[in-house]
Amino acid sequence: MLIAILTIRVIMKQNQDISVSQLVSILRSSDLPFFIFGIVSAGMFVWFEGVAICSILKYAGHPRSLKKGFLYSTSDIYFSAITPSATGGQPASAFFMMRDGIPMGIVTATLILNLMMYTLSIIVLGILSVMISPRAFWDFGSISKVFIGIGFVGLSVLVFIFFILLKKEELIFRPLSKLIIFLYNKGLIKEKNKKLLKVSKIGNDYKICSALISGKKRVLFTAFLWNLIQRTCQLVVPMLIYASLGGEKVKMALVFSKQCLVTIGYNFVPIPGGMGISDYLMLDGFCRMMDRQMAYNVELISRGITFYICVSVSGIITLIGFLYRRSNHDRGL
């Protein structure tokens, strides 16, 4: 919350012509269909992550309803937004998946595959954005180009690491077994054999699931397709907001291309939700293709929809889902 407040205050201070009342007035005079499409598209971003996870679980032999998939998605999005480099997203999603009776090994393999496809979709959209608008990258300032370049390399390395982890489960579970032995020898834990047996079972489930889902092209393609749609739903929001505020329709593709590169630039930065960095990159890119006032309006409104509102709603849904399931658990349902 502190980072969010500071970020918004800095942005509004940089442009004295912006105020909350002025933003409200701008929204009232916007092109309603484009604005509504922007909000719906942001909502679809949350929905399609759940669809992607459920598609993988189905092929892994543990099908779950899209309603449950939606909760896996909201918990991931909320905790990813409040932790550096989205470190809390997957564990939060895993918590709800295991509460639904999905074995930990299956959960781990599912989330690694989904995260790999999620990351790959960002890279692919970044490449496509340059193909759509070759000037998109070169219009950024030097600092922004460095962030985008580092992000592209970093995300590419992550995709490779995720792929290796899917194929070689020992890279995850062998160090974990060694850690248990180390802690036991130091007298910090008890029942070493019981814990090692549990790790072995989880590793076996992971290996079976990994072989099942990573060995089928249809599974990989489906997971990638849903993640690509999900990312696109989020990245088109600034373009739609730009159009709703009276922006030139011929520049909509350029706005989309720049947003794809912005996402690459801030996704690898260890700051919750990329706050501050994402705003800087968006303003740097947009101010070079539209007037300053329009750039600030598009940035604040689209960022408010895709991040602040989206994360807040996801947090509320996650809390409701947690309380509802705990209530059912207490009643023995």
Among 21-35, 85-99, 241-255, 261-275, which range has the highest average pLDDT?
Answer: 241-255
**Eight-class DSSP state of 273:** G
H or E segment and range at residue 62: none
Q: How confident is the model at residue 16 (pLDDT cuts 50, 70, 90)?
A: low
Q: How confident is the model at residue 92 (pLDDT cuts 50, 70, 90)?
A: very high
pLDDT > 90: percent of the chain: 47
CA distance linking residue 291 with residue 261, whole number of Å: 20
Residue 75, token pair as written in the block: 């918990």
Contact between 7 and 275 under an 8 Å Cβ cutoff? The reply is: yes
Does the pLDDT at position 124 exceed 60?
yes
Mean pLDDT of the chain: 87
Does the pLDDT at position 332 exceed 60?
no
> Domain ranges in the chain?
2-330
CA distance linking residue 207 with residue 85, whole number of Å: 27
pLDDT at 210: 84
What is the reported pTM?
A: 0.87
Q: How confident is the model at residue 61 (pLDDT cuts 50, 70, 90)?
A: confident
pLDDT > 70: percent of the chain: 91
Alpha-carbon distances of 60 from 7, 38, 144, 261, rounded to whole Å: 42, 34, 40, 33
